[in-house]
Chain A
Amino acid sequence: NAGVTQTPKFQVLKTGQSMTLQCAQDMNHEYMSWYRQDPGMGLRLIHYSVGAGITDQGEVPNGYNVSRSTTEDFPLRLLSAAPSQTSVYFCASSYSRGLLTEAFFGQGTRLTVV
């Protein structure tokens, strides 16, 4: 059972380039989300999805797009990379059993924009 898998683990982009961070989960979880982690800022929510075909914005959505065509995959797209998007990105998934909604995280993608 792989859990939540993120690729790539490391990436360097030039300002203005676009790229897609991949996230896949094999636990049949309904909910998936993307966070970014910056020093002194903690983890902040970028976008989330409550099921295939449904997405919504989090706290810091600008500059990012998401889509959810399948239950398993939730890619995060950077449209035109900026140095301010240098960060560590984490994808998470969670199931829902009433109030019991435990989140599981991937190992992260460390992105540097130069």
Chain B
Amino acid sequence: KQEVTQIPAALSVPEGENLVLNCSFTDSAIYNLQWFRQDPGKGLTSLLLIQSSQREQTSGRLNASLDKSSGRSTLYIAASQPGDSATYLCASNQAGTALIFGKGTTLSVSS
């Protein structure tokens, strides 16, 4: 059974700092890995999707990497801003349908 772990559970940084969020998974037979953002009391917003054949994806200040052999993915946020404060979730897709989620990293960026 796939298990997805996110470390750290919470992270506080000053504005402007570059940071890395970590996601690890136990079963490397994934279709893809997806990163989401969730604001308090809101739904999930898709940030980046990395297919199993890809190594990384970029969108603006965000860069996500995938290393299937080591069972790891990272989300890099450059030049963090207070508006980046949210919970970030990673999820693995095992069979092209439902997702297995980590418990998330809650990020707080102070001005």
User: Are A43 and B96 in contact, with the CB atoms below 8 A?
Assistant: no
Q: B43 contacts the other chain (Cβ, under 8 Å)?
A: yes
What separation, in Å, do the CA atoms of A45 and B92 have in the docked complex? 13
Q: How far is the CB of B11 from chain A (nearest CB, A)?
A: 17
User: Are A104 and B46 in contact, with the CB atoms below 8 A?
Assistant: yes
User: Are B32 and A99 in contact, with the CB atoms below 8 A?
Assistant: yes
Greatest chain A CB density within 10 A among B46, B101, B102 is at: B101
Q: How far is the CB of B97 from chain A (nearest CB, A)?
A: 5
Q: A90 contacts the other chain (Cβ, under 8 Å)?
A: yes
List chain A residues, Cβ under 8 A from B97. 31, 33, 48, 50, 94, 101
What separation, in Å, do the CA atoms of A16 and B104 have in the docked complex? 32
List chain B residues, Cβ under 8 A from A58. 98
Tell me which of B15-23, B49-57, B60-68, B69-77 binds A.
B49-57
User: Are B104 and A42 in contact, with the CB atoms below 8 A?
Assistant: yes
